A and B are shown apart, each in its own frame.
Chain A
Amino acid sequence: MPVASRFHNENKLVKLNDSELDKRLSGDGIAMEVGPFSVNVLIKFKNVREDFLKIYRDFPFYDEPIVLDHSISVFGRNLFRQYLRPQAFVETEMNNDTIPLPAKIGMVSLEMGFNWQVAMGCKQYLMFHAGVVARDGIGLIMPAMSGSGKSTLAAGLSFRGWQLHSDEFGLLDLDAGELIPYPRAVSLKNQSIPVMKEWVSREHDNYEDYFTPAYPGTPKGTICYLRPPDQSIEEMHKRTKPNFVILPIFDPNSEPKIRPITKTMAFFRLVASSANYGDIGERAFSSIAKIIEESFVCEIIYPSLDTAVELVEAFIAEHSDPKKAGQDDG
């Protein structure tokens, strides 16, 4: 079935007029394409629809019936929660136990729902908890823990000419050995919000347009979402083989430096970052082994986004011919 060819580039959400969008999003929902997934999105709150469109307005939608990977609905569970003291509940159809949030920050519920669906319902692709970007045949995986600044770094690179695959869900097609772009709202927390605003403002005068309002008081502090660069959304189907693995470490008191690591270490770090390694089993093992075999690997320690981007670019320039990968062991 022609999944990818079914949508047309002109079928962007933004091409529907406002009342049509509102009607469909709050009615049966709109089936849209997010990376390799087809998702039906239904939102009962007007403010959440507005925030949602800020991020996803250029994403393609389907006008014809399509088999869906996921359905997601954001609504109030009863009249009281819909209108009087509105609270956004997210239903992912995957037995999620998510706590409803105040409707003002309903966008956070929606993104949590998306995350849940991918984390729980996507075992066919090897998944890395990592920022992933690509450029000119270079596929870069940056596995890291939450709070290491990988979202900021991935987003930062993507506003300097890289294609954003994802700021936290790296997906690998096990058959083709290719990274699958999964661009979505980049989730920025606390201090990284002003950093990214400043970063995007260097390239775009209308930089505020890329950001949702900030949502204070979430379980993770203040959250703000950033729309991926236009080009990354356009190129949502352009896949790349991974050939660089860089482990980012944010340390505000350190000098910027590139630290070599062994391939063995990189292998284990990539395994540890994979959410479904244990579910996929043997194929996950051999896929990660292959990635590491064909990749240049290092750790970077950086005190700021500027230095991080410089270090990444420097390391890649130094090893610019990917065919040489595998010759030296760290």
Chain B
Amino acid sequence: MMVDNILIDVLKKPEIMEGLSREQWNTCLREAKMSGLAGRLSYDARDIGIIEKLPAKVQDIFSSYDYNSASSTRKIKWEINRVKRALKGSDEKVVLLKGGAYIEKGMSCTVGRVSVDLDILIARNRIDWAEDIFLKAGWRHQVINDYDQKFYREYPHELPPLVHPDRYISIDVHHNILPTTSKLCPDVTKMIETSVKMENGFYVFSNEDIILHSIVHQFQDGEVRSSLRNLIEQHDMYKEFGKDEGFWQKLIPRAIELGFTRALYYSIHFAKNIFGTAIPDHIIADIKPYGPNIITGAIMKFMVMGVISPNLGAKGIARWASMNGLYIRSHWLRMPPVLLARHLTIKFFRKFQADD
């Protein structure tokens, strides 16, 4: 797959930052900002010791993003601490998801990363209990619209987001990693069972489940806007987890068990082709049968390349088609047709209500 994109080039080979022209910097920074990756570039430049050779203006911009990611990490850690305090005295198994887990595990993909909320997972029958505890501890519902509240409660996989008025970080309390209406909704108890206890008492998924969650989030659940960031996150994880041979042995069987093989195929395919991620040959061979047919594969490639970065591939109508194609696809996978039609109709007409 030919990829002609300066941001991807820089992510792959940070040393080329030294030779970028001003015009190239503007393209690169613009895309990095929009993809949530400016902090990552800054970290890379410092990591390989070239930051002081970069234009003063670039250093200046980078320092802003350094503060941003450091502050985000600090805030997430503090929020985890506050959640721990709210849950004090209970021995409920609470799993940190995504950013919270990456930070707690000190994973390499957290460098320069900004998380805006904290996601946690708890057994489905304990969800009311958890909501009650958080509300008593001062968190408030962020969504007050009746339809949204009802929708959250009846169908998807999490409580309406809760925010503590002193801290503005929203916590999403999940009981599954995908909406229960989704065709791909896994038996999450399997993931909770194999999760690992951390020093602070919270749990995190096993390494295979962490990466599968990121993958399914991107390729099935429509994280359209931050596609590139998700993909490089997976690239980092393949690199970090892949040092352990056990990870590769468990990855595909686990994807089969949870029903995420197609998503795993896409992740491996796009990571390898875009970032040149080192994936063992036997994994590539073993995941191949789970890939799409030629037509679906081509459509998917077109759509993913169209949205993966603001400037890459598709523009105008094609980009619009890619964005909306993936949005509709993600919803298609999330809920049955009748429910989907009703949901999108309500969302559409709500646009015209002045007081919403």
Contacts A94-B33, A95-B34, A281-B74; A67 near B63 (Cβ below 8 A): no
Chain A residues in 8 Å Cβ range of B71: 123, 278-281
Contact of A93 with B by CB under 8 A: yes
Flag if B64 contacts A123 (CB, 8 Å).
yes
Q: How many residues of B contact A (CB 8 A)?
A: 25
Flag if B56 contacts A68 (CB, 8 Å).
no
Flag if A124 contacts B64 (CB, 8 Å).
yes
Instruction: Kindly provide the distance from the CB of A73 to the nearest chain B CB, expressed in whole angstroms.
Output: 12
Chain B 1-57 residues near chain A, CB threshold 8 A: 21-23, 25-26, 29-30, 33-34, 55-57
State A65–B55 Cα separation when bound (angstroms).
13
State A124–B62 Cα separation when bound (angstroms).
9
State A1–B52 Cα separation when bound (angstroms).
11
Flag if A67 contacts B30 (CB, 8 Å).
no
Add 5 more A-B contacts to A67-B58, A93-B33, A123-B64 (CB < 8 A). A66-B22, A67-B26, A67-B57, A121-B33, A279-B67
Contact of B92 with A by CB under 8 A: no
Instruction: Kindly provide the distance from the CB of B83 to the nearest chain A CB, expressed in whole angstroms.
Output: 19
Flag if A65 contacts B22 (CB, 8 Å).
yes
Flag if A3 contacts B57 (CB, 8 Å).
yes
Flag if A68 contacts B70 (CB, 8 Å).
no
Contact of A255 with B by CB under 8 A: no
Partner of A67, one of B22, B34, B70, B74: B22
Contact of A122 with B by CB under 8 A: yes
Main SS of the interface on chain A? loop
Contact of B328 with A by CB under 8 A: no
| Residues of A near any B CB (own CB < 8 A) | 1, 3, 38, 65-69, 71, 93-95, 121-124, 276, 278-281
Flag if A69 contacts B61 (CB, 8 Å).
yes
Contact of B68 with A by CB under 8 A: yes
Chain A residues in 8 Å Cβ range of B25: 67
Contact of B219 with A by CB under 8 A: no
Flag if A71 contacts B30 (CB, 8 Å).
yes
Chain A residues in 8 Å Cβ range of B260: none
Chain A residues in 8 Å Cβ range of B56: 1, 3
State A3–B59 Cα separation when bound (angstroms).
12
Contacts A65-B22, A71-B30, A95-B34; A1 near B68 (Cβ below 8 A): no
State A67–B17 Cα separation when bound (angstroms).
13
Task: Report the nearest A residue to B225, measured CB to CB.
Answer: A95
Partner of A65, one of B23, B74, B75: B23
26 chain-A/chain-B pairs, Cβ below 8 angstroms: A1-B55, A1-B57, A3-B57, A38-B57, A65-B22, A65-B23, A65-B26, A66-B22, A66-B57, A67-B58, A67-B61, A69-B57, A69-B61, A93-B34, A94-B33, A94-B34, A95-B225, A121-B64, A123-B64, A123-B68, A123-B71, A124-B60, A124-B64, A276-B67, A279-B67, A281-B67
State A285–B21 Cα separation when bound (angstroms).
37
Chain B residues in 8 Å Cβ range of A122: 64
State A30–B25 Cα separation when bound (angstroms).
17
Closest 7 CB pairs of A and B: A123-B67, A279-B71, A65-B22, A67-B57, A124-B64, A1-B55, A123-B64
State A67–B225 Cα separation when bound (angstroms).
25
Chain A residues in 8 Å Cβ range of B75: 278
State A3–B74 Cα separation when bound (angstroms).
33
Chain A residues in 8 Å Cβ range of B55: 1, 67
State A123–B71 Cα separation when bound (angstroms).
10
Contact of B65 with A by CB under 8 A: yes
Chain B residues in 8 Å Cβ range of A276: 67
Residue of B55, B58, B60 with most chain A CB atoms under a 10 A cut-off: B60
State A71–B25 Cα separation when bound (angstroms).
13
Instruction: Kindly provide the distance from the CB of B142 to the nearest chain A CB, expressed in whole angstroms.
Output: 15
Chain B residues in 8 Å Cβ range of A278: 71, 75
Partner of B70, one of A65, A69, A93, A281: A281
Chain B residues in 8 Å Cβ range of A124: 60-61, 63-64, 67
Instruction: Kindly provide the distance from the CB of A187 to the nearest chain B CB, expressed in whole angstroms.
Output: 24
Flag if A65 contacts B63 (CB, 8 Å).
no
Instruction: Kindly provide the distance from the CB of B170 to the nearest chain A CB, expressed in whole angstroms.
Output: 15
Instruction: Kindly provide the distance from the CB of B185 to the nearest chain A CB, expressed in whole angstroms.
Output: 29
Instruction: Kindly provide the distance from the CB of B50 to the nearest chain A CB, expressed in whole angstroms.
Output: 15
State A93–B309 Cα separation when bound (angstroms).
13
